[in-house]
Amino acid sequence: MLIRRAPRFTSNEITDRKVYLSRREWMIGAAALTLLPGECGAATPQGEPLGATRNDGLSLKEPPTKFEAATTYNNFYEFGVNKDDPARLAHTLKPRPWTVQVDGLVHKPKTFDVDELSRLFPLEERVYALRCVEGWSMVIPWIGFPLASLLKRVEPTGQAKYVEFTTLLDPKQFPGQRASLFGFALDWPYTEGLRLDEALHPLTLLTVGMYGQVLSNQNGAPIRVVVPWKYGFKSAKSIVRIRLTSNEPPTAWNKAAPREYGFYSNVNPAVDHPRWSQATERRIGEFRRRSTLPFNGYGDQVRHLYAGMDLKKYY
Ligand SMILES: Nc1nc2c(c(=O)[nH]1)N[C@H]1C(S)=C(S)[C@@H](COP(=O)(O)O)O[C@H]1N2
Ligand SMILES: [Mo]
C-alpha cells in the first residue's frame, strides 16, 4: 500500500499438505490428552493447538502457503509499515483477556469474551485464498465461525444496513499507533466495514485460529474477520467492536487514500489500482505470477450481491 517489496518466499517453501495435516492432527490429539476438566475456559495463547471441523465445501483445493511465510510476511500497520514488523513487534499485543462489543442497530447488544465466542459457535477450518491489494496472495487454513452466526444472535434491527469493525486502539501495545515513530499513520483505530448482506454471507468468517493453532498476534489475534472475495485490507485484525449502522461506515484506507481504496474493494482484475495493475498476482511461494480472478475466485458464490452495480464506480 505504501511500500512495495517482492515477496522473499520461493516454491520449495510451500508446505506439503500431508505433512501439515499430520502435524495438525498430532497437535489436536496432544491437546485433548493434556486438557484437564475445568481447563477448557483457560486463556489460550497463540500457537496452542485449536480443534476445528474441516469445511471441505468452502475450502480451496490448493496447498496452503507455508506457515512460516504466513506468520512473517504480514500487513499490520499498527506494528509498522514493513512486512516483517508485525512478526518482530507483535509480542507487545496482549490477546487475552479480550472482549468484543457487538452493538449499534441490534435488539440484543452484548459484549462477548473472545473465548466465550469460540465456545458458543462451532469452529470450522476453511482454506481460503487471501489477495492483498499490493499484488500478492496466500492460501491459509483459517479456523473460525461465520460472522452471520454472531450477527443473528444479537438480532439486527430493520434499520441495520452496514457492519463496522474496529481494531483495538492502544499505542502501548501497538507501536505503529505512536505515529511519530514511523512518520506514517492511518486514522487510528483501524476501522473497516461491510454491507449487511456481505457480512451475513456464509463465506465471511470471524477467525480465531489458523493452521490448527490459536491465531498468532501478527495475524490479528485474538479475533479478526476474513472476507475472501475482497482485498486483504477489508479483513480487519484484532477486533474489539462490531457495530451495526444504517449508513456506510468510514474506513481507514478509504479515508487515507479514497481514490485508491474504495468501500467495496472486491478483488477485480479489470479495475486497476491508480498506481499499478490488478490483473495478476504472485502466490507467496510460487515463482510465476498468475492471473487474478474476479472476486478472488469466489464469483459464483458472491456475484449476485452486486447485480446491477457498476463495479468500476463502486471499486
Ligand atoms: N487492524 C489491521 N487490520 C489489517 C491490516 C492492518 O494494517 N491493520 N492490514 C490488512 C491487510 S492490507 C492485509 S493484506 C491483511 C493481511 O493479513 P495477514 O497478515 O494475516 O496475511 O490484513 C488486513 N487487516
Ligand atoms: Mo493488503
Pocket test for ligand 1, best of 2, 71, 75 (most atoms within 8 A of CB): 75
A 10 A CB-CB count for 10 gives 13
Is residue 230 domain-resident? yes
Best residue among 235, 260, 267 to mutate for probing ligand 1, ranked by most atoms within 8 Å of CB: 235
| Residues 159-174 pLDDT 10s | 999 999 999 999 999 9
The secondary element (H helix, E strand) that includes residue 300 is: helix 299-302
From ligand 2's centre to the CA of 45, what distance in Å?
A: 25
* Amino acid, res. 290: R
| Ion ligand 2 neighbours, Cβ < 5 Å | 75, 132-133, 232-233
Would you say residue 16 lies in a domain?
Answer: no
Question: Could you tell me the residue range of the domain that residue 57 belongs to?
Answer: 28-306
- The number of folded domains in the chain is 1
- Cell 496482549 locates to 94
Tens digit of pLDDT for each residue in 120-165? 999 999 999 999 999 999 999 999 999 999 999 999 999 999 999 9
Can you give the CATH number for the domain in which 229 is found?
Answer: 3.90.420.10
Q: pTM to 2 decimals?
A: 0.89
Residues sharing a CB contact under 8 Å with residue 177, sequence separation 6 or more, in sequence order = 78, 169, 170, 171, 185, 188, 189
Q: For atom 11 of ligand 1, which residue has the closest CA?
A: 233
Q: Is residue 138, in this structure, part of any structural domain at all?
A: yes
CB atoms within 10 A of CB 21: 15
Q: What would the pLDDT profile of 268-310 be if each residue is shown by its tens digit? A: 999 999 999 999 999 999 999 999 999 999 999 999 999 999 9
Q: With respect to residue 256, please indicate whether it lies within any of the assigned structural domains.
A: yes
Res. 232: pLDDT tops 70: yes
**Residue 246 CA to ligand 2 centre (angstroms):** 27
Q: Among the atoms of ligand 1, which is closest to the Cα of residue 210?
A: 20
Whole-number mean pLDDT of the chain? Answer: 89
For residue 76, the ligand 1 atom closest to its alpha carbon is 7
Residue 315 lies in a domain: no
Residue 314 lies in a domain: no
Residues with CB under 6 A from ligand 1: 74-78, 130, 132, 138, 167, 190, 219-220, 232-233, 235-238
Which is nearest to 248 in space by CA: 167, 171, 194? 194
pLDDT given for residue 118 in this prediction: 95
Three cell numbers, residue 135: 499484488
Rounded (5°) CA angle 226-227-233? 80
Report the nearest-CA residue for atom 8 of ligand 1.
76
pLDDT tens readout for residues 189-220: 999 999 999 999 999 999 999 999 999 999 99
Comparing C-alpha atoms, which of 221, 184, 211 is closest to residue 92?
221
First to last CA, the chain: 16
Q: Would the pLDDT of 116 be above 60?
A: yes
CA of 22 to the centre of ligand 2 (A): 30
* Cell numbers at 309, concatenated: 452495480
Please report the pLDDT score of residue 181 as a whole number. 61
pLDDT at 185 over 90: no
